[in-house]
Amino acid sequence: GMCRIDEWNGIKVYSEMERVDLVRNTYPWYFYKHISLADDTSFIAEDAEVEEVDEGIVAQFRKEIGITGLADEKVLVVDFGSTFTKIGIFDTRQETFDLRYKPTTIEDIRIGLADGLDVLDACRESGDWKPLDQKMREFAVRLPCSSAKGGLKVATVSLVKEESGFAAELAALTAGAKLVGSYDGQLTAEQARNIYERDQPEIILLSGGTDHGGDTYTQLHNARMLARASRYASYSDYGVPVIYAGNQDIRQRIENIFCYRDVDVRSTPNVMPEINDFHIEVVNETIRNLFQTVIIRAKGFDVVEDYMDAPFIPTPRAAFRGINLLANGYGDEKGLGNIMALDIGGATTDFYSNVNDNPLYQ
């Protein structure tokens, strides 16, 4: 029939059939019952249905901390929140789980941890943290996560919101970040300044342009605007790192722009190297690495790192992985199947879902 529009999603079309084909290629789950997420031409590299437990990583982790399994062991999990520190104790011998809530002392998060483990008074009497150190040794595995001091705050700057912007936001969210700003197109000087003065992110994710001939002007422009405005990041003693995940043709030029202004820049492969081809995990991993190596120290949380067996991860990321385990199961333990979960917090409400079948056809 007659085409009623000239373009769809930024792509020129000349007939209604062309438009329908583009919609079908981008959102195949609306057309095909057997597809629950996407097809080969429109896919996301990481989501709940493809994130599986790596048996090799599990075995290596257990070897590093000196255990072969969790039978007859005690496991400690701690969530350092802005208001409360949540301490969870698994006792596999007794098959019990004990959950405790203690106020978080942002100045020194060891206080809430020690209070939750009933050794705070002993620490005050001894004038040091040795009682806490001794208590922590009772646990075979000790795992931390944190959303305190605002969690992991990320702002995204992209070329097109529905394409590279979508990929960048998804990468940030699945890494456990809280989006404090999302911009697309060419930044103005006022927008660049607002990113630092109003949004105050801890990481900026810059994306846009497909590889091998895609747009370069907008990314170079936005890099210059962000680099010039970086002087307004007075809220951060460590500066605000930038992750560049856009057109790889200008990767070196982007890095030079930020390095000239002494901005910490980390480049990754393109989060969207081709239209509707989203590579989330490469950016996701860099965000988590920055959180574990830079952001945690900036927040002062590194004081408890020596007590733990794994690096900090953002609380939403821990919940995301927990939902996946609960849905899919692990080893001989079967999962519960399709799950939807809400984490209603003081600042944000986080929504999680793990659905193996296409919900449109349920």
Strands (DSSP E) contained in 246-295 are 265-267, 277-278
Residues 6+ apart with CB under 8 A from 153: 177, 178, 180, 199, 200, 201, 202, 203
The three-state secondary structure class of 356 is coil
Strands (DSSP E) contained in 191-294 are 203-206, 242-244, 265-267, 277-278
User: Cβ(174)–Cβ(320) under 8 Å?
Assistant: yes
For residue 15, count other CB atoms closer than 10 A to its CB.
11
For residue 256, count other CB atoms closer than 10 A to its CB.
13
> What pLDDT sits at residue 83?
84
User: Cβ(187)–Cβ(221) under 8 Å?
Assistant: yes
The three-state secondary structure class of 29 is helix
Nearest to 278 by CA among 131, 173, 140: 173
Phi and psi at 229, nearest 5°, equal: -80, -5
Its pTM stands at 0.69
User: Cβ(324)–Cβ(51) under 8 Å?
Assistant: yes
Tokens encoding 121:
């008074």
Q: Judge residue 335's burial from the number of C-beta atoms within 10 Å of its C-beta, 0-12 exposed, 13-18 middle, 19 or more buried.
A: middle
Residue 117 exposure: Cα atoms within 13 Å on the Cβ side: 25
User: Cβ(160)–Cβ(184) under 8 Å?
Assistant: yes
Q: Judge residue 308's burial from the number of C-beta atoms within 10 Å of its C-beta, 0-12 exposed, 13-18 middle, 19 or more buried.
A: middle
- The DSSP secondary-structure symbol of 293 reads I
Residues 6+ apart with CB under 8 A from 306: none
User: Cβ(126)–Cβ(139) under 8 Å?
Assistant: no
Q: Each residue's pLDDT tens digit in the chain (362 positions)?
A: 444 567 766 777 777 677 777 777 776 666 665 555 544 444 443 443 445 667 777 788 778 878 777 888 999 999 998 888 999 999 999 999 999 999 988 888 999 999 999 999 999 999 999 999 999 999 999 999 988 777 789 999 999 998 899 999 989 988 888 899 999 999 999 999 999 999 999 999 999 999 998 999 999 999 999 999 999 999 888 889 999 999 999 999 999 999 999 999 999 999 999 988 888 888 888 988 888 877 777 677 888 888 999 888 888 888 888 998 899 888 888 889 889 999 887 667 788 888 876 555 55
Domains of the chain (ranges, CATH numbers) = 7-45 (no CATH), 55-148+299-335 (3.30.420), 153-284 (3.40.50.2300)
